[in-house]
């Protein structure tokens, strides 16, 4: 097989079929997002399940998400925290938050999810700390701001996941003028340099093309 975006997608669809399966609540959340004309940039199904498994592997009971979008990843993580667990999720767009609220409630995990509407930089200072897992998936230009708050709102042992660190390989383009790529790269440098974190990153190919995740531990 040639390594092409089509082949990545076919293999990802296969993995999704055998490891994730059909999921009416999640599919309804995606349909609602599409119907509302929101960007279709949620995490891939296999990545949503990865977030769910990470939450459970860590025994996380308090999860923070920055970037709710339509609530797809939120539902995956809310399922992982258990009935007594809580997900606080921050969404800058009020219209997106409304769509997410309906989908999260319809998925049966509404009691576990607290959606805070506002820009991350405004909402994060209002939160109490002690999060067990933090998922950063919002405007890439602010990744260093979000990582700084992740260190403050976490504790030693908190797991931090950052979406979209691959960006079609553009992170190595020193001449890029793409502010998302620059923000992503600055976040990665911070994870490498800032003594509050120990981190790595994995590139991925699949339904979202060539991208990846950073995984960090607050030390």
Binding mask 154-173 for ligand DHB (x = CB under 6 A): ---------xx---------
Please report how close the Cβ of residue 67 comes to ligand DHB at its closest, in angstroms. 6
- Cβ-closest position to ligand DHB: 41
Give dist(CA 5, CA 170) in Å, integer: 16
Looking at the Cβ atoms of 20 and 41, the one nearer to ligand DHB is: 41
For 19, residues 6+ apart whose C-beta sits below 8 A from its C-beta are: 46, 49
- Cβ-closest position to Mg ion: 163
Going by C-alpha positions, the residue among 14, 183, 186, 25 that lies closest to residue 102 is 25
Please report how close the Cβ of residue 92 comes to ligand DHB at its closest, in angstroms. 12
Which residue in this structure is represented by tokens 């339509």?
A: 70
Give dist(CA 165, CA 214) in Å, integer: 6
Which of 41, 121, 127, 217 forms a contact with ligand DHB (CB under 6 A)?
41
74 binds ligand DHB (CB under 6 A): no
Looking at the Cβ atoms of 23 and 211, the one nearer to ligand DHB is: 211
The torsion defined by the Cα of 117, 29, 106 and 51, in degrees rounded to 10, comes to: -80
């Amino acid at each position: 097989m040639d390594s092409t975006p089509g082949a990545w997608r076919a293999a990802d669809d296969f993995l999704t079929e055998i490891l994730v399966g059909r999921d009416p609540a999640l599919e309804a959340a995606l349909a609602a997002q599409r119907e509302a004309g929101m960007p279709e940039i949620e995490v891939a199904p296999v990545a949503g399940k990865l977030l769910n498994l990470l939450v459970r592997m860590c025994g996380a009971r308090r999860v923070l998400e920055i970037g709710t979008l339509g609530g797809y990843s939120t539902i995956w993580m809310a399922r992982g925290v258990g009935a007594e667990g809580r997900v606080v999720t921050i969404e800058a767009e009020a219209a997106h938050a409304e769509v997410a609220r309906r989908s999260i409630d319809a998925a049966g995990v509404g009691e576990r999810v607290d959606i805070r509407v506002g820009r991350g930089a405004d909402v994060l200072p209002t939160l109490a700390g002690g999060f067990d897992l933090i998922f950063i998936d919002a405007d890439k230009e602010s990744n260093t701001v979000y990582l700084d708050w992740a260190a403050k709102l976490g504790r030693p042992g908190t797991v931090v996941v950052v979406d979209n660190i691959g960006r079609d390989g553009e992170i190595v383009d020193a001449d890029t003028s793409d502010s998302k790529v620059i923000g992503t790269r600055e976040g990665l440098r911070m994870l490498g340099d800032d003594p509050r974190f120990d981190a790595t990153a994995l590139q991925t190919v699949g339904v979202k093309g060539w991208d990846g995740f950073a995984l960090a531990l607050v030390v």
